[in-house]
Structures are given as C-alpha cells and as structure tokens.
C-alpha cells in the first residue's frame, strides 16, 4: 500500500480517521455489493484500510453493526416522506418506500425482521401509527393494527431479501420462478387444486404489485373494522 508523505496536516482532524459513521457507511457499501455473507470484519477492515480489531473500538459486534446499518437506511427514508395528502396514500408510500429500499439493499429485509422493538421498527411504528389515528382507528385497536401492518411489511421484505439471496448461482428471477411454477404445475391437480391453479400466475407475477395488493387488503379491513 502506498502511503504519501503527510504534508497535508492542515487540520487536527484527519479526514480518514475511523468513526462509527464511516464504518457503517462502508458496511452498507459491502452489504449492497456482496450481500450479508460478504460483510466480514476482515473485508470491512480492508475496505477501511485498517485492522480487523480496530472496528471493535467503535462497534460492539456484528449484530450492532447490522442494526446500525439498518437504522442508517430506514431513518432518512422515514424522515423524508412526502408531505401528507390522504392517510391511505401515505401508508402506501411508507410501505412502498420500504419495499423499494429492500430491493436496493438486498439484506434489509431480514434485518427489519430481527429488529422487532429496536429503533428502526419503532420509527416505522410511529410513521404508521400517526396515519392510523388520521384514519379514525379507535385508540384501543391502534397497537394491534399497527403491529399487523408492521408484521406484514416485515414479512414481505424478509421474503424479498430471501428471494434475492437464494437464486442459486447466477440464476435469474425469471428462470427460478419458472422452475417453481413447473414443479407446482406438475403436481396432482386432485391433491393440490389451488397450487395447480396458481402456478401460471406465479411464473410472471409482479412482487411489488402483489405486495401492494396485500396492503390494500389490510386497508380495506381497517376501513371496515367493527
């Protein structure tokens, strides 16, 4: 590694000094490129041009690193939501924002699942809950309804993340789904009538549309609560 003579010490604060924020930014970069398996303390240290152990001075362990990376993606996303019009539309925007983020960051889904009562999920509860109030959901029901929406969103994000990770060895989503559809189609229609019926739709469905359809189902439920 080339190390230039340090003639630029104009400020006391070295621009390349390690910090929690720089570590998290590098972690996200690696996660996005290589996935969760690619994020290694060694790889991270190499990227930051430091030793593996140095990272532990700023971050307790890998779990905290992943939790912070999740917060770093979710916090600005929920802070920069477009100004509100209709509460239903706002809920759709929140959900779709997260869904699209899970695509840009193919590790986010499994983290949101594991975050249950942590910062990022708390922010999600707050964002959703305020809209529920606007929708007129009665106070006693709000926690359950918000938890249902969070559970649904987390589940779908988790499935998306799993889908992106699982496609075995450079197989496209299309060929992978086609294989699954063929298997479903090959099942006995007497024993598995529904799966058989659905196989063709599986082949070329849009995950994003399906995600939104499920969300709308829940919004319909909210509109007709007892």
Identity of the residue, 49 or 116, whose beta carbon is nearer to a second copy in the bound complex? 116
Identity of the residue, 40 or 134, whose beta carbon is nearer to a second copy in the bound complex? 134
116 interface partner picked from DNA, a second copy, none, CB below 5 to 8 A per type: a second copy
Among 62, 92, 185, 203, binds DNA (CB under 7 A): 62
Give yes or no for a contact between 99 and 211, defined as CB atoms under 8 angstroms apart. Answer: yes
Among 34, 113, 185, 208, binds a second copy (CB under 8 A): 113
d(CA 213, CA 196): 21
d(CA 171, CA 56): 37
Among 92, 114, 185, 208, binds a second copy (CB under 8 A): 114
d(CA 167, CA 169): 6
Residue 143 in the binding site for DNA (CB under 7 A): no
d(CA 176, CA 127): 35
* Closest distance to DNA from the beta carbon of 44 (Å): 8
| End-to-end CA gap in the chain | 68
Point out which span in 42-50, 87-95, 164-172, 189-197 binds DNA (CB under 7 A): 42-50
Alpha helix ranges (H) inside 136-206: 139-166, 173-185, 193-203
Smallest CA-to-CA distance from 18 within 43, 42, 44, 50 is with 50
* Closest distance to a second copy from the beta carbon of 144 (Å): 4
Residue 126 in the binding site for a second copy (CB under 8 A): yes
Point out which span in 61-69, 84-92, 150-158, 171-179 binds DNA (CB under 7 A): 61-69
Identity of the residue, 62 or 103, whose beta carbon is nearer to DNA in the bound complex? 62
Smallest CA-to-CA distance from 167 within 106, 113, 97 is with 106
CA 135-141-142 angle, 5° bins: 55
Coil vs helix vs strand at 33: helix
* Closest distance to DNA from the beta carbon of 46 (Å): 10
Positions that interact with a second copy (CB under 8 A): 110, 113-117, 122, 125-126, 128-130, 132-133, 139, 141-148, 151-156, 158-159, 162-163, 166, 177, 180, 184, 192-195, 197-198, 201-202, 205, 210-211, 213-214, 217-226
């Amino acid at each position: 590694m080339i190390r230039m003579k340090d003639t630029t010490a104009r400020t006391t604060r070295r621009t390349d000094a390690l910090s929690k924020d720089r570590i998290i930014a590098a972690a996200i970069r690696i996660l996005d490129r290589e996935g969760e398996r690619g994020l290694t303390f060694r790889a991270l240290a190499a990227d930051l041009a430091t030793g593996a152990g140095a990272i532990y001075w700023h971050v307790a362990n890998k779990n905290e690193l992943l939790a912070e990376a999740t917060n770093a993606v979710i916090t600005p996303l929920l802070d920069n939501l477009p100004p509100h019009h209709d509460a239903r539309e706002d809920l759709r925007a929140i959900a779709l924002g997260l869904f699209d983020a899970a695509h840009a960051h193919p590790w986010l889904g499994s983290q949101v699942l594991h975050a249950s009562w942590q910062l990022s999920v708390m922010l999600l509860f707050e964002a959703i809950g305020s809209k529920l109030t606007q929708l007129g959901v009665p106070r006693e029901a709000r926690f359950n309804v918000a938890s249902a929406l969070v559970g649904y969103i987390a589940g779908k994000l988790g499935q998306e993340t799993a889908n992106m990770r699982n496609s075995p060895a450079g197989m496209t989503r299309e060929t992978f789904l086609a294989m699954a559809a063929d298997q479903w189609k090959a099942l006995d229609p007497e024993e598995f009538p529904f799966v058989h019926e659905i196989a063709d739709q599986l082949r070329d469905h849009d995950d994003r549309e399906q995600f939104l359809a499920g969300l709308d189902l829940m919004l319909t439920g909210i509109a007709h609560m007892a």
